[in-house]
Amino acid sequence: MSLSRRHFMTACASIGVVGGAFVDILSRHGGPITVETVACAEEIAGIELTQTQREQLIEDLEQHAGHYASIRELALPNDVPPALTFDPSGSEIQPASSRQGMSWDPAPVERPAKAEDLAFMQVAELAYLLKSRAVSSLELTTLYIERLKKYDGVLHAVITFTEDLAYKQAAQADMELDAGIWRGPLHGVPWGAKDLLSVPGYPTTWGAMPFKDQVLDTKAAVVDRLEAAGAVLIAKLSLGALAWGDVWYGGKTRNPWNIEQGSSGSSAGPGAAVAAGLVGFAIGSETLGSIVSPSTRNGVTGHRPTYGLVSRHGAMTLSWSMDKLGPMARSALDCALIFEAIRGADTRDTSTVHAPFPFSLENDIRSLRVGYLKKAFESDYAGRETDAATLGVLRRLGIDLIPIALPDDLPVEAMLTTLGVEAAAAFDALTLRGGVDQMVRQGQGTWPHEFRLNRFVPAVEYIQASRCRSMLLQRMNKVMREVDVFVSPTFGGGTLSITNLTGHPSVTVPNGLDILEDLPDSVRRQPRSVTFSGPLYADAEVLHFAHTYQSATDFHLQRPPIQ
């Protein structure tokens, strides 16, 4: 028996099933589930059944509904992962067994006379000043906290200050440095954490009203590793509610290059704070652009590591198979120094692995095979001329750019069902108890809407999307055998979606500052960016290549007007 859309709507209306109500009927115990209910569900499931087949399903669907109810009663917390782990390496690309680390020593640098100049120094420079005792960690900590308080009324980048902890850590760092104990380049450097990283004794709000008073006992792995490296945590920075956009329960985080504009997200606070010289560096997270986009908007450098190289223990889960944590800083070299401190396997995050990180400034990047998405760079898009200039810089550096293309014969957009379904599962308890109604943003294009929407996705379709993702990974790894690094427009050529699905690393760097057409005489600017990506576990090569580009340009050294 075929069910037309008209009959479908009539049948649903006749039993009082409208909108998403039939999903609720199918997923709660005590239905009642009828043949009419099943007929309505067929439209979403994309199948057609006979009347007899519908009748045969009812008893088992009632049993399934009971199973769903028993699982709901567990109230699964956000940090419990599914018994499935995404492994981007598959059987083709395995990380080398070596745990080789970064080779780097701080180069001498003069201490600037002005405090503002000190605030905008790179981590690599602060490392020398701290180690040589030209500046103290307490001085830097005080400077950055004062700047955060001065500008946060405009930028709305801070959710919680961690002053007591910061001054304690700064005092400890100074005591050790005075005694000649140097833990490494982050020792004594103040930093900010995206507020989805848990820190005992302080709220971990996830930027969302339902969690604004949440205090977790867990210390996030990256927080722990940065503490071990001697870094000083001064603030928990804003993120769009539950890691979407730049709007959180306290307002909209602003772009310091143009405060009429949001800072993009979801690593909104890290992007704004780094750009404005309010922290030495920050840790952001990305599932689908949450490091790349705010790095672009705020004109900072963002490193999204290979999936599995940084532990997510103690971080809010949005998508178990797509979430990544990474540094946001002034330069690619800074990102490399931070990544060295936070990378590595962690038994508390089963997705993590050890991989070598042979970053060395002594390596010659001209030996790298560098690809570029020729078709994407030749298309018509905002920033095309800026990106063309970037390619020109690379060619002048002696780089022979090899035209490549990413896989374009698979339904990448459909594979992003993965994100929607996993996010809906991660926050299902919030959806079921109506907590999503407390979130600031509502309607289409928001998490409350997406959480409800993705309860309509059949489990079979989620698995099929995952299988397509395996095919995408295989084809992407085949392309990556041709190059060591590739260059792409940040939001062109499918790079953002594809590499987030496959787990490949990227570094997004500023490559231009556009004059605003409607305000040509203003000091405000629109930062542009370009993205360097590479094979799985090739973070060292990608970061070194980005550093070489930045050594030939100065876009990463520019300062925003914060007005």
Q: How many domains does the chain have?
A: 2
Band (pLDDT 50/70/90 cuts) for residue 20 is very low
Indicate if 51 and 145 belong to the same structural domain: no
The stretch 284-313 carries a mean pLDDT of: 98
Local structure of 34: helix, strand or coil:
coil
The answer to whether residue 469 scores a pLDDT higher than 70 is yes
Residue 272 lies in a domain: yes
Nearest-angstrom CA–CA distance, 399 and 396: 7
Confidence at residue 10, expressed as pLDDT on a 0 to 100 scale:
54
Indicate if 346 and 284 belong to the same structural domain: yes
Domain-terminating residue out of 74, 91, 124: 74
The answer to whether residue 110 scores a pLDDT higher than 70 is yes
Secondary structure (DSSP) of 468-483: HHHHHHHHHHHHHTT-
Residue 318 lies in a domain: yes
Indicate if 133 and 64 belong to the same structural domain: no
Residue 100 lies in a domain: no
**Tens digit of each residue's pLDDT (9 = 90 or more) over 354-398:** 999 999 999 988 899 999 999 999 999 999 999 999 999 999 999
Confidence at residue 6, expressed as pLDDT on a 0 to 100 scale:
52
Local structure of 449: helix, strand or coil:
helix
Neighbours of 215 (CB within 10 A): 13
Count of CA atoms in the C-beta half-sphere (13 A) of 433:
9
Indicate if 38 and 122 belong to the same structural domain: no
Average pLDDT, the chain: 93
**Tens digit of each residue's pLDDT (9 = 90 or more) over 234-252:** 999 999 999 999 999 999 9
Nearest-angstrom CA–CA distance, 226 and 220: 10
pTM of the model: 0.93
**Tens digit of each residue's pLDDT (9 = 90 or more) over 164-188:** 999 999 999 999 999 999 999 999 9
The answer to whether residue 29 scores a pLDDT higher than 50 is no
The answer to whether residue 294 scores a pLDDT higher than 80 is yes
Indicate if 136 and 8 belong to the same structural domain: no
List strand residue ranges (DSSP E) for 456-546, in order: 485-489, 506-515, 525-533
Indicate if 67 and 122 belong to the same structural domain: no
Contact 222, 311 (CB under 8 A): yes
Q: Which two tokens mark 494?
A: 């499918």
Confidence at residue 28, expressed as pLDDT on a 0 to 100 scale:
47
Q: Which two tokens mark 50?
A: 């006979």
Closest by CA position to 163, among listed 115, 205, 202, 121: 202
Residue 39 lies in a domain: yes
**Residue percentage of the chain with pLDDT more than 90:** 82
The answer to whether residue 32 scores a pLDDT higher than 60 is yes
Residue 31 lies in a domain: yes
Domain-terminating residue out of 45, 74, 103: 74
The answer to whether residue 353 scores a pLDDT higher than 80 is yes
**Tens digit of each residue's pLDDT (9 = 90 or more) over 408-433:** 999 999 999 999 999 999 999 999 99
Higher pLDDT, 332 or 20: 332
Which of 138-147, 178-187, 309-318, 445-454 is least confident?
A: 445-454
The answer to whether residue 2 scores a pLDDT higher than 50 is no
Local structure of 162: helix, strand or coil:
coil
Domain-terminating residue out of 22, 43, 74: 74
Indicate if 246 and 153 belong to the same structural domain: yes
Confidence at residue 22, expressed as pLDDT on a 0 to 100 scale:
43
Closest by CA position to 426, among listed 186, 243, 216: 243
Residue 37 lies in a domain: yes
Nearest-angstrom CA–CA distance, 37 and 497: 36
Indicate if 478 and 356 belong to the same structural domain: yes
Local structure of 58: helix, strand or coil:
helix
Indicate if 55 and 166 belong to the same structural domain: no
Indicate if 176 and 278 belong to the same structural domain: yes
The answer to whether residue 12 scores a pLDDT higher than 50 is yes
Secondary structure (DSSP) of 297-355: HHT-EEEEPPTTSB--TTB--S-TTT-EEEEEESSHHHHHHHHHHHBS-BTTBTT----
Confidence at residue 15, expressed as pLDDT on a 0 to 100 scale:
43
Confidence at residue 91, expressed as pLDDT on a 0 to 100 scale:
56
Residue 109 lies in a domain: no
Indicate if 64 and 141 belong to the same structural domain: no
Q: Report the CATH number that the domain containing residue 134 is assigned in CATH.
A: 3.90.1300.10
Return the DSSP state at 210. G
Residue 539 lies in a domain: yes
**Residue percentage of the chain with pLDDT more than 70:** 94
**Tens digit of each residue's pLDDT (9 = 90 or more) over 247-272:** 999 999 999 999 999 999 999 999 99
Contact 351, 463 (CB under 8 A): no
**Tens digit of each residue's pLDDT (9 = 90 or more) over 52-99:** 988 988 988 888 888 888 888 888 899 999 988 899 987 577 788 778
Nearest-angstrom CA–CA distance, 13 and 15: 5
In single-letter form, the type of residue at position 490 comes to T
Neighbours of 252 (CB within 10 A): 18
Domain that holds residue 15: 1-74
Indicate if 126 and 59 belong to the same structural domain: no
The answer to whether residue 502 scores a pLDDT higher than 90 is yes
